[in-house]
Structure 1
């Protein structure tokens, strides 16, 4: 039984497979889904514990302020006068303040925090 489109071959492909095979497949899929869910929750729990233990402590993370400031300059509208100029920013040691309060994990998070402070 051949067909140009191959549809009858696909339909008859599983006719002679035992029900036990399909039952095992369903059990296997349920087990894999459970494992994925549990491992995701475990990773999330580890992140929570890490955040709670490290919160408020100084971090030794290196930050590239040129990149972060470059993003701020390219996205800000300095004409409205709502952001600090460079001299005021440096006088207030805002880069140092940023390193103390920053708990971001991603570059967009770093950029948004910088924009909020600026």
Structure 2
């Protein structure tokens, strides 16, 4: 059983946007292969958001993309599947807290990137 801290760490490290998390939940709820157009319609998102989200989830080992570009929920391990289940339950009970975790993790990455270009006096 995953702890709350395990789930929080998983959420912060696996999702670059709330769109990615929503996409994962969509794919998990209807376990089949989804075309790009079906995902855009299902999420009511843009092509770019869906493309980036699929890339993010593929890199995280949570979805699979076949030769035709169809996407399905396919976690790489039972542990990942368990963390997804726990994250889904957490989101159902505290959606704003999960959204804030994702946004805060993304913002800290952007701040670190921006800091790399800051001119410093040595």
TM-score (norm 1): 0.25
Q: Greater CA radius of gyration, 1 or 2?
A: 1
| Larger RCO: 1 or 2 (CA < 8 Å, sep 6+) | 2
TM-score (norm 2): 0.24
Instruction: From the two aligned structures, give the one with the greater strand fraction.
Output: 2
